[in-house]
Structure 1
Amino acid sequence: MTEDKPPHSLDELEARLRKARGGELARSAGKGSRLDRANQGPIGVAFRIGAELVAAMIVGVGGGYLIDRWLGTSPWGLIGMFFLGAAAGVLNVYRAVSGLGFAPGYGRVNKNEPRRPDGGDAL
């Protein structure tokens, strides 16, 4: 019923993983990808910044309104969440403009680490 095939060697598995990782790196940061910010025009950047600010404010004010309705603390929940939403919006805009939002972990890598072949931050 079952075929007795020998398990793949670890070397073959490692080669397949290396090939997949190389393809992902080329696809995720190559020309024409969503991470290639050179293709994003100034209008696209402006719309993204606006959307980041508006979305954060809507979530903050909506959350504050719901907290006020639930706990009966009007208007303090709304005021507090307004400022929290504004801070989150500004942080999101900073990440969008500086490119930190694309990197896993939202941080720049150590300058002593090797750089990617396409000019990115890390291998």
Structure 2
Amino acid sequence: MNAASQPGDEPVSFNSRLAQAEARARGKRGKEDQSVTQDVSKADYSALGLALRAGTELVAALAVGVAIGYGLDRWLGFRALFLILFSLLGGVAGMLNVWRPVGKIGA
């Protein structure tokens, strides 16, 4: 038994205690605090997070393009036609994926 419970009390679940605490916290905050909290949850990425995301998206798009091109070349019997084509398409897709979040920084 913990110090807050009495011998005749029923155990209260964690979820119900959490809901009660959230309701109390919402009651104490004004509308201004709630809007600040919502803005913080939609905050931009940190510089390191943005750089890691950009690098990952670029490499992933290029890898997918190369894999598709290689697979089509092997399947259809070409030497490197689709590999070159899909490598270029993957690079362009990766650059577009990088441009979207980076372009929002200055706006």
TM-score bracket for this pair, using the shorter chain length: 0.5 to 0.7
Q: Which contiguous aligned blocks of 4+ residues in structure 1 show a shift greater than 4 angstroms?
A: none
Matches of 1:60 and 1:96 in 2, distance apart?
21
Aligned CA-pair RMSD: 2.1
Shift of 1:96: 1.8
Match among 62, 65, 75 for residue 60 of structure 1: 65
| 1:31 pairs with 2:36 | no
Counterpart residue number, 1:48: 53
Q: Percent identity?
A: 44
Match among 69, 74, 85 for residue 69 of structure 1: 74
Q: Structure 1: state its 5+ residue gaps.
A: 1-25, 100-123
Counterpart residue number, 1:97: 102
Shift of 1:87: 0.4
Shift of 1:32: 3.3
Shift of 1:56: 0.3
Q: Which has the higher contact order (CA 8 A, sep 6+)?
A: 2
Shift of 1:73: 1.1
TM-score if structure 2 supplies the norm length? 0.59
Matches of 2:54 and 2:73 in 1, distance apart?
29
Q: Structure 2: state its 5+ residue gaps.
A: 1-33
Report the secondary structure of 2:54's partner residue.
helix
Shift of 1:51: 0.6
